[in-house]
Amino acid sequence: SQKIEQNSEALNIQEGKTATLTCNYTNYSPAYLQWYRQDPGRGPVFLLLIRENEKEKRKERLKVTFDTTLKQSLFHITASQPADSATYLCALDTGTASKLTFGTGTRLQVTL
Amino acid sequence: DTAVSQTPKYLVTQMGNDKSIKCEQNLGHDTMYWYKQDSKKFLKIMFSYNNKELIINETVPNRFSPKSPDKAHLNLHINSLELGDSAVYFCASSPSTASGRSPLHFGNGTRLTVT
């Protein structure tokens, strides 16, 4: 069956450290992969998009990698801050136009 | 100047009732969506419309009927509400149907509670 898996347990890290979140998928061959941030009581907010022929994408303190062989994307936040605490969702285009399928999300908690 | 707005934010109703959720986007996007987020925070697509035409109907019970009067609006009507319909419903929009390469812009959700 087709799956998009993210760490279901919350990730707790100390301020200033690098947070690394994982998105694994099976039985998909996405051309694009996106990452979103969701705060409690709010809708997801788009962060980054990476294409299958791109290995890495950066935006300020954020970095995304995309390994189509491992079927995995890693999302890094460097110099993390308490304000980075949120749930992070990965999403794939799953072969059908207009359909973006989301992973289960990982909650990140950055403490002082 | 909210980009994607949904109303109401909260909706509490009894089983068997009919209710509607409204969504409007002022981004000029052609494609709009309804997603459902359950209690485990899993976000699942329900419908997609492009320029008022239905593109995706993701095996949603026919008690759910989306309506798009124009490309800036996508409403969701739910008949005969059931307990299992309790969830947060998100409206979203994107510039084109190729949502894989177009970021989605989400509203802040409507929390539906069926008692």
Q: What is the pLDDT of residue A45?
A: 97
The answer to whether B90 faces chain A, any CB pair under 8 Å, is yes
Structural element, H or E, at residue A87: strand A86-93
- Shortest CA distance from B103: residue in chain A: A46
Q: Are strands A19-26 and A72-77 parallel, antiparallel or unpaired?
A: antiparallel
CA-to-CA separations, B31 to A51, A55, A97, B1, B24, in angstroms, rounded: 21, 29, 11, 19, 12
Considering only CB atoms, B103 lies closest to which of A30, A34, A105, namely A34
Say what the pLDDT of residue B1 is.
62
Per-residue pLDDT of chain A (112 residues; tens, 9 = 90+): 678 999 878 999 999 999 999 999 988 888 899 999 999 999 999 999 999 899 899 999 999 999 999 999 999 999 999 999 999 999 998 766 567 889 989 999 999 9
**Residues B34 and B90 sit within 8 Å (Cβ to Cβ):** yes
Nearest C-alpha of chain A: how many angstroms from B48?
7
**Chain B nearest-CA residue for A106:** B41
Q: Residue A104 is encoded by which pair of tokens?
A: 């289960």
Whether residues B106 and A105 touch (CB distance < 8 A) is answered with no
Contacts of B43 in chain A (CB under 8 A): 44, 89, 102, 105
Q: For position B99, what pLDDT does the model report?
A: 65
**Which tokens sit at B70?**
């124009």
Is A44–B104 a contact, with Cβ atoms under 8 angstroms apart?
yes
Residues of B in contact with A4 (CB under 8 A): none
Low-confidence ranges of chain B (pLDDT < 50): none
Return d(Cα A2, Cα A25) in angstroms, integer.
8
Taking only residues 1 to 30 of chain B, the set having a beta carbon closer than 8 angstroms to any beta carbon of chain A reads 4
Q: What is the pLDDT of residue B14?
A: 98
Which residue's entry shows tokens 């087709």? A2
Q: Does B68 touch chain A (CB under 8 A)?
A: no
